[in-house]
Amino acid sequence: MTKTDKLILSLLAVLCTVIGCEDKEIEERLPKDTPKVFLEKLSLTETKSGQKLWTLTADRAGVYDEIIKAEEVMVRFYDEDETEFSVLNAPRGELNTRTHNILVTDNVVVVTSDSTILHADSLFWINDSAKILTDSYVKIMKKDGTVIEGRGLKTDPRLSRIEVIGEIKGLSPIVLPDIRK
C-alpha cells in the first residue's frame, strides 16, 4: 500500500467518524416527540374480508412508533353494502396502528344518515367491538327534536343504541295525551 493509499484511507476514516458524529448530534438535538414520518392528505381504509368498514382521512399526520397523530380528521363508517351511514369530524385524532383504535378530540361531531348529531369533547373508537366511548360531556340531537345531554357515553357508530353513562338530562317533543279524554 502506497503512502497515497494510506493517506486516502486515513482521510476516509476521519470523514466517516465526523459524519457519524454529526448524525448523532443532529439526532440528539431533535425533540423526542418528533414523528418518524410526516404525511399530508392521509387516507386509511379498514376492511374485513374485503368489505370496507371505515375510512379515516386527515389533512396532516405524524407517524410515531404505533401511533399516527392526525389533524383535521374525518372518519366515515360503512354498512355491509358499503353505504356510508355515519361521519365523524374532529380537529385532532390518534390512530393506534396495531389495534386500529382511534381517539379524537377537540369539538368532535358525528352526523348519521338519519340526521342524528352527536357533539362531544372527545370520543374513543374501539375497533374490535365497533363501539364509541367517551367520559366527556355529550349532546345528542335527533331529527324529531329530542335532545339528550350528559357525561359519558357508549354507542355504536350509527348512534342507534346510545347509553349515557353518567349524569343525563333531556328534552323530548313527545306530548302525552290527557288521561281524562
Q: Which three cell numbers stand for residue 169?
A: 338530562
Please indicate, yes or no, whether the overall pTM of this predicted structure exceeds 0.85.
no
| Alpha-helical runs (H) found in the chain | 3-29
Read off the CATH number of the domain in which 59 is found: 2.60.450.10
User: Would residue 26 count as lying in a domain?
Assistant: yes
pLDDT tens-place string over residues 44-92 = 999 999 999 999 999 999 999 899 999 999 999 999 999 999 999 999 9
User: Would residue 176 count as lying in a domain?
Assistant: no
User: Would residue 181 count as lying in a domain?
Assistant: no
Residues 24 and 112 in one domain: no
User: Would residue 180 count as lying in a domain?
Assistant: no
Residues 47 and 133 in one domain: yes
Residues 61 and 111 in one domain: yes
Query: What is d(CA 91, CA 120) in angstroms, rounded to the nearest whole number?
Result: 12
Residues 14 and 45 in one domain: no
Query: What is d(CA 94, CA 96) in angstroms, rounded to the nearest whole number?
Result: 7
User: Would residue 179 count as lying in a domain?
Assistant: no
Residues 23 and 42 in one domain: no
Q: Which three cell numbers stand for residue 175?
A: 306530548
Q: Which three cell numbers stand for residue 90?
A: 374532529
Q: Shortest CA distance to 172 belongs to which of 145, 149, 150?
A: 145
Q: Which one-letter amino acid corresponds to residue 42? A: L
pLDDT tens-place string over residues 6-39 = 545 555 555 455 555 455 555 566 566 788 888 9
pLDDT at 3 over 90: no
Residues 44 and 91 in one domain: yes
| Domain count for the chain | 2
pLDDT for residue 128: 95
In this prediction, what percent of the chain has a pLDDT beyond 70? 82
What range does the domain containing 7 cover?
1-30
Residues 87 and 162 in one domain: yes
pLDDT tens-place string over residues 117-126 = 999 999 999 9
